[in-house]
Amino acid sequence: MIIYFIRHGQTDYNLKSLIQGNNDIPLNETGLKQAEETRDLLLSKGITYERIYCSPLDRALTTCEIVSGKKRDSFIIDKRLEEINVGDLAHTSMLVDDPYTIDFIKHPDRFVPHPGAESYQDMIDRVGSFLDDLKREQPAEKILVACHRGPIQSVVMNLDKSIPLKEFRRITIPNASCLEVELKDGVYKVTNLYKNDNNILQDESLFF
């Protein structure tokens, strides 16, 4: 089995460094273009999909429609693929000096969510549950999974248990990039990262 985990294209919140979490923020014009570029990139490599999973949030659904060429009513919607629930941090700036925000952005291992929000480990665990369920699908399938940066980072954390939680945010997944993961003999392995020319990986990236 090969799974293609695609992060949604850019939103205005991404552009303005605002925290969106699992709130339903749409793609902006750049995000729509990024999704089209990723579609063209994957088509040029002959990549097709026999099953499609998607986060219920519109930015992932729209990205998935563009990349797959299919309508969202054909997707398997799974809430475990949503971005992290940030609670009262939603719609606030990532750039403030508030200690709670600083822990959320810079210290995933120290971040203690307010009631109603999730910890990073909560998200890693629910994505791990999704990965466990995928192992029961047909082994020869190619699967598209459209979601968000946090869940794809969580995929990597589930695959490589040696990465400490404090390094979570150094796993760099640009907007509209695609993480290719192979499942063979019950073991997942990252095999590629497809990205647009405009989506440059940060120099301090831990994983790629």
What is the DSSP secondary-structure string of 46-66?
T---SEEEE-SSHHHHHHHHH
Can you give the pLDDT at residue 202?
A: 43
Q: Which residue has the higher pLDDT, 139 or 207?
A: 139
Calculate the average pLDDT of the chain.
92
Cβ of 208: how many Cβ atoms within 10 Å? Answer: 16
Is 8 known to be catalytic? yes
Give the tens place of pLDDT for each residue, 1-18.
Answer: 999 999 999 999 999 999
Domain that holds residue 37: 2-194
Give the tens place of pLDDT for each residue, 105-115.
Answer: 999 999 999 99
Give the rounded percent of residues in the chain with a pLDDT score beyond 70. 94
Catalytic residue among 8, 65, 118, 180: 8
| 37 has a pLDDT exceeding 80 | yes
Can you give the pLDDT at residue 203?
A: 40
Full strand arrangement of the beta sheet holding 142-147: 76-77, 51-54, 142-147, 2-7, 178-184, 187-194
Can you give the pLDDT at residue 205?
A: 43
Give the tens place of pLDDT for each residue, 157-177.
Answer: 999 999 999 999 989 899 999
Residue 26 lies in a domain: yes
Q: Is residue 6 classed as helix, strand or coil in its secondary structure?
A: strand
Catalytic residue among 37, 65, 82, 83: 83
Does the reported pTM lie above 0.75?
yes
Average pLDDT of span 181-193? 93
**DSSP assignment of 94-152:** TT---HHHHHHHH-TTT--PPTTS--HHHHHHHHHHHHHHHTTS-TT-EEEEEE-HHHH
Domain count, the chain: 1
Give the tens place of pLDDT for each residue, 130-140.
Answer: 999 999 888 88
Residue 204 lies in a domain: no
Residue 203 lies in a domain: no
- CATH classification at residue 40: 3.40.50.1240
Residue 109 lies in a domain: yes
Residue 199 lies in a domain: no
